[in-house]
């Protein structure tokens, strides 16, 4: 009999973690991850051991100090499986992908030896357990410190059978196991993720633009030179006054191009004059077969905004920062990129642009609705909303965020403020200028002039830009071959990310998000420079590679980013009939050379590229953090009643000074479409060929110097 101990560790739970199975000094292996739970680490240790011993004839005794793991594998999984992987209470099984994998490994008829489990008390001097625990913690600390390269992941299985067969009886480990006492609990212990989530609480009804919640003064504190005030505001879930009731005079307007003066076509963007009927004529042009929803007061009301939604309020959080030596500076509100990302925190304020902006402004960092300390929406609270979830998610777009910003401005008594937005933050500003230009003194936009066009056009250009950038990456020696080989490897061999997700070529290719960053090529070079390791005569992907890929592609921390991404393009400009986005990224991807989901990585006659900011239906099928949201994502992709985001006519009449930075090789926000939008609104544009989408972070001192000089 082979006796092995398994253990897992998570520093923070969730946090950086490590796992280990241990037989002897000559036979053990460890692994780790950037973010996960202790239970996940415990399960991963057992899964790896079972994988390594699948063809071993000897019986296997697994000693673990986790009753959670032992109960799952010896008792609960059988009932869960019969119930369609639901608990006795009908709840989804936590860590489902890992549990399914373990069930498959234990049920494999090809397995030679029998597998049994015994509980041992942790941290009680058990020799094998102490070793497994020590190695698991060491790996966790290595991932926490960002130095997994320096960690010892062990020799692997190697001569495991030989090293253990000599010590299968009368060993201290065996004696300890024989005397161990344990009880299985009567009922499953539910993890945090299994507990009933609590829906975001609706505040009592309040006036449209109430005063700030703090009474009598906002919470205030000092941090170094910074004076910080915290603002919490109760606002309506649906701001009816931000809805644009616009209809075009033609259904044939793939690209808005309202030129100021001479129509200059430097970008090569198709030019078609776009006009909007007057408000008096709006009722004469409607979507065929789809009556326009309205209230008696003529306010636009989307079909998902019912009586309950209209009386529901949410909370919005904002952090105001100023230098403590002068509180008389004007206000600047910063809109974070995204969608679904909270405002920057103090740890992010080291960026050069931030200090320079504080010399001139008081800065307000807004947690956009659904994020941060505003009423949160994540993979716990969204399911808790039940049938209301779809309506809530439809109200997380740029237009409603503008309503929140206006509520805050009026509550603070600010006549006008300067607005600044990065990436999606620029989309919000463009929506702001379409509604309340009178509230804006000046607008700064970096990498965020949205295309005034349909979603298909957006993705056609982002795929093309991503292909060009990937070609730059492949010019580095060995990189294309490394991408092709790793993708081909996971087609033939099962490899798993730290969260238990089976790795696929599409998930590997998703690391191409890095191509949009200034140092993206270098970061990807280090990722792919040595992805394989030989253990036990087999080739595996390294734990570091798996951990790095897992941390880059998981949306466990920001599910809204993936869930809302395509919605930000829905009905961007007025259309006679609003088309659904309908998983545009997936549709356009199959037409873009080198991006097909099922492309053969070893077909060297065809290009094979990494992908960028392209969230298709497949992501929700594969990422465990998104699987519970897949039906909602489908629902959003099918929506045809989106309110209009941008008013081209109002933008063409814009008098607010707009200063925008456009990046020539931006793979996220197409350059040509950005230049077109800039011309429409009369923006002053700085175009740089050597900066990428993260230019504000990477070269913030240069960018902010130019912006503030205007």
Q: What is the pLDDT of residues 298-330, one digit of tens each?
A: 356 889 999 999 999 999 999 999 987 666 799
Provide mean pLDDT across the span 535-563: 93
- Catalytic residue among 18, 32, 36, 65, which? 65
Q: What is the average per-residue pLDDT within 404-433?
A: 96
Reply yes or no on whether 8 is catalytic. Answer: yes
Q: Is 65 a catalytic residue?
A: yes
Q: In the predicted model, is pLDDT for residue 126 greater than 70?
A: yes
d(CA 665, CA 607): 20
Check residue 347 and give its pLDDT.
Answer: 65
Of 48, 52, 97, 133, which is the active-site residue?
Answer: 133
58 has catalytic annotation = no
Q: What is the mean pLDDT of residues 124-135?
A: 92
The pLDDT value given to residue 289 = 35
Asked whether the bond before 50 is cis by omega within 30 degrees of 0, the reply is: no
Choose the weakest-confidence range: 215-229, 414-428, 647-661: 215-229
8, 403, 547, 678: the catalytic one is 8
pLDDT score of 167 more than 50: no
Q: For residues 383 and 298, which has the higher predicted lDDT (pLDDT)? A: 383
Half-sphere exposure of 129 (CA within 13 A, CB side): 22
Catalytic residue among 18, 36, 42, 500: 42
133 included as an active-site residue: yes
pLDDT digits (tens, 9 = 90+) for 76-121: 999 898 888 888 777 888 888 899 999 999 998 888 789 999 999 9
Opening angle at CA 424, ends 353 and 594, nearest 5: 110
End-to-end Cα separation, the chain, in angstroms? 77
Q: Find the mean pLDDT for residues 268-294.
A: 33
Range name among 14-28, 44-58, 178-192 with the lowest pLDDT average: 178-192
Of 84, 123, 150, 325, which one is the catalytic site residue?
123
Residue 301, pLDDT score:
82
User: Is position 413 annotated as part of the catalytic site?
Assistant: no
Which stretch, 96-110, 142-156, 222-236, 649-663, has highest mean pLDDT? 649-663
Cα(458)–Cα(692) distance, integer angstroms: 18
Q: Hunting for tokens 């500003």 — which residue is that?
A: 429
pLDDT of 192 reads 33
Q: Which are the contacts of 139, defined by CB distance < 8 A and separation ≥ 6?
A: 9, 17, 18, 19, 20, 30, 31, 32, 148, 151, 153
Q: Is the pLDDT of residue 215 over 50?
A: no
Binning pLDDT at 50, 70 and 90, where does residue 635 land? very high
Concerning whether 162 is annotated as a catalytic residue, the answer is no
Higher pLDDT, 383 or 216: 383
Name the residue among 399, 381, 394 with its Cα closest to residue 637. Answer: 394
The owner of tokens 């087609």 is: 491
Q: Which one of the listed residues 7, 52, 367, 639 is annotated catalytic?
A: 7
Over range 347-356, report the average pLDDT.
77
Q: Return d(Cα 594, Cα 601) in angstroms, integer.
A: 10
Q: Is the pLDDT of residue 474 over 90?
A: yes
Largest CA distance in the chain: 92
């Amino acid at each position: 009999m082979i006796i092995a101990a398994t253990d897992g560790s998570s520093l923070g739970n969730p946090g950086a973690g490590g796992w280990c199975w241990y037989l002897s000094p000559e036979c053990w292996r460890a692994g780790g991850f950037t973010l996960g739970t202790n239970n996940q680490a415990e399960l991963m240790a057992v899964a790896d051991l079972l994988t390594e011993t699948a063809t071993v004839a000897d019986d296997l005794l697994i000693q673990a100090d986790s009753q959670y793991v032992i109960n799952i594998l010896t008792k609960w999984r059988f009932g869960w499986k019969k119930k369609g992987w639901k608990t006795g209470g009908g709840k989804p099984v936590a860590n489902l992908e890992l549990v399914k994998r373990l069930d498959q490994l234990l049920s494999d008829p090809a397995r030679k030896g029998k597998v049994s489990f015994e509980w041992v008390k942790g941290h009680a001097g058990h020799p094998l357990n102490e070793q497994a625990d020590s190695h698991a913690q060491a790996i966790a600390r290595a991932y926490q410190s960002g130095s997994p390269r320096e960690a010892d992941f062990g020799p692997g299985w190697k001569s495991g059978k030989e090293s253990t067969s000599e010590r299968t009886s009368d060993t201290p480990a065996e004696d300890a196991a024989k005397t161990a006492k344990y009880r299985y609990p009567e009922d499953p212990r539910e993890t945090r993720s299994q507990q009933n989530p609590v829906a975001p609480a609706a505040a009592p009804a309040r006036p449209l633009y109430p005063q700030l919640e703090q009474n009598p003064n906002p919470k205030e504190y000092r941090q170094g030179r910074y004076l910080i005030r915290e603002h919490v505001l109760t606002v309506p879930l649906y701001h009816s006054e931000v809805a644009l009731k616009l209809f075009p005079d033609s259904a044939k307007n793939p690209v808005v191009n309202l030129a100021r003066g001479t129509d200059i076509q430097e970008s090569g963007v198709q030019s078609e004059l776009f006009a909007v009927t007057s408000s008096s004529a709006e009722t004469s042009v409607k979507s065929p077969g789809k009556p326009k929803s309205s209230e008696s007061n003529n306010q636009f009301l989307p079909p998902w905004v019912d009586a309950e939604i209209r009386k529901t309020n949410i909370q919005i959080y904002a952090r105001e920062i100023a230098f403590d030596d002068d509180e008389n500076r004007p206000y600047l509100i910063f809109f974070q990129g995204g969608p679904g990302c909270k405002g920057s925190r103090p740890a992010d304020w080291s960026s050069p642009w931030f200090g320079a902006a504080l010399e001139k402004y008081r800065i307000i960092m807004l947690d956009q609705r659904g994020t941060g300390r505003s009423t949160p929406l994540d993979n716990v609270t969204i399911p808790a909303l039940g049938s209301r979830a779809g309506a809530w998610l439809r109200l997380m777009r740029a237009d409603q965020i503008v309503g929140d910003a206006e509520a805050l401005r009026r509550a603070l008594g600010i006549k006008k403020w300067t607005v600044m937005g990065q990436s999606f933050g620029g989309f919000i500003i463009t929506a702001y200028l379409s509604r309340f230009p009178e509230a804006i003194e000046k607008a700064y936009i970096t990498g965020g002039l949205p295309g005034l066009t349909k979603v298909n056009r957006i993705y056609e250009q982002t795929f093309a830009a991503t292909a060009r950038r990937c070609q730059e990456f492949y010019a580095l020696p060995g990189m294309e071959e490394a991408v092709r080989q790793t993708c081909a490897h996971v087609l033939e061999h099962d490899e798993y990310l730290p969260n238990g997700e089976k790795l696929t070529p599409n998930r590997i290719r998703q690391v191409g998000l890095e191509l949009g960053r200034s140092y993206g090529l270098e970061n990807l070079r280090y990722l792919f420079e040595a992805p394989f390791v030989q253990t036990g005569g087999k080739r595996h992907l390294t734990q570091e590679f798996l951990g790095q890929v897992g941390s880059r592609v998981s949306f466990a921390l920001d599910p809204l980013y993936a869930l809302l991404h395509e919605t930000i393009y829905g009905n961007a400009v007025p259309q006679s009939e609003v088309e659904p986005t309908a998983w545009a990224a997936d549709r356009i991807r199959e037409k873009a050379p080198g991006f097909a989901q099922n492309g053969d990585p070893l077909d060297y006659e065809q290009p094979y590229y990494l992908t960028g900011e392209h969230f298709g239906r497949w992501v929700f099928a594969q990422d465990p953090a998104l699987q519970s949201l897949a039906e909602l994502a489908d629902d959003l992709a099918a929506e045809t009643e989106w309110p209009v985001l941008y008013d081209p006519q109002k933008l063409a009449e814009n008098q607010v000074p707009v200063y925008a930075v456009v990046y020539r090789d931006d793979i996220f926000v197409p350059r040509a479409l950005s230049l077109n939008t800039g011309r429409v609104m009369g923006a002053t544009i700085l175009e740089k060929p050597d900066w990428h989408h993260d230019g504000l972070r990477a070269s913030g001192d240069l960018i902010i110097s130019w912006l503030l000089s205007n």
